[in-house]
Amino acid sequence: MNIALIAPTPVESKELRFEIRPEPKADFKVISKGELHGNSIIFTHCGVGKVNAAHSTTLVLENYDIELLVLFGIGGSYSYSGARTGDIVIAESENYGEEGILTKEGWRSMELTGFPLLKDEREYYNNFPVDQELAQFAIKVTRDAGFNVRSGNFVTVSQCSGTREIGEILKKRFNGICENMEGAAVAHICALYRTPMIEIRGISNIIEDRDLRKWNIEIAASNCNRAVIELVKGLK
């Protein structure tokens, strides 16, 4: 397969890069070609945030024949979602967490505006589903490899939730399990180009009152990288 692998930062891709031949550069916005377990790989670091993610995804899909795009990295788990630090989470949908209208009655989604963010056979407002068959395949492969795996709705934000209260608000909007800063933008562009997508994250922290002493970015990134390697190994 021709697979695109996109991570926001080099911290989130270190172990995976060592497995690709030739090894991709660690620079941002550099697109590399390589091979991993018999699959052709297009690899890049998009940078943090929705604009960077959309930009890099567009560059990849405009210039290469991609059969599957895999977005991977770290993310925060909403409290009581069942996902713990070091676990693997796989998206069943991606959701723009903040796009919408703030009214006297509270936040309302883009549907209240009447303007979809994307329209083809259907209208996309905040929610961008991913291919469920591919998501289930990713869940099976990573569980078979021995990882603790959860799946559910991901929420993409511009402002990270630094308190338990704010995290609960975002979680309830979309019944979310994982918060990140890129996924909905990548899902948006993949829907535009009709390219299948899988999103895999390693949980670096539980979303609560911010305390970096409780975070473990290293184990989250390592587990995510190994999960992606197993996924690519299973794709033929």
Task: Look at residue 80 in the predicted model and tell me its pLDDT.
Answer: 87
* Mean predicted confidence (pLDDT) in 9-32: 97
Average pLDDT value for residue range 141-165? 96
Q: What is the model's pLDDT at position 68?
A: 98
Average pLDDT over residues 21-50: 97
Spatial separation of the C-alpha atoms in residues 221 and 205, rounded to whole Å:
12
Q: pLDDT, tens digit, for every residue of 202-232?
A: 999 999 999 999 999 999 999 999 999 999 9
CB–CB of 204/215 below 8 Å?
Answer: yes
pLDDT digit string (tens) for 179-201?
Answer: 999 999 999 999 999 999 999 99
Tell me the average pLDDT across 143-157. 97
The hierarchical CATH code for the domain 2-234 is 3.40.50.1580
pTM for this predicted structure: 0.96
How does pLDDT run across 87-113, given as a tens digit for each residue?
Answer: 999 999 999 999 999 999 999 999 999
Residues in contact with 8: Cβ distance below 8 Å, sequence separation at least 6, in sequence order? 45, 46, 47, 48, 52, 53, 73, 181, 182
- Given a contact cutoff of 8 angstroms between Cβ atoms, the answer to whether 177 and 77 are in contact is yes
Q: Residue type at 125?
A: Y
* Average pLDDT over all residues of the chain: 97
| % of the chain with per-residue pLDDT over 70 | 100
Q: Where are the domains of the chain?
A: 2-234
Q: Report, as an integer, the average pLDDT of 108-132.
A: 96
Residue 236 above 80 pLDDT?
no
Instruction: Name the band, by pLDDT with cuts 50, 70 and 90, for residue 36.
Output: very high
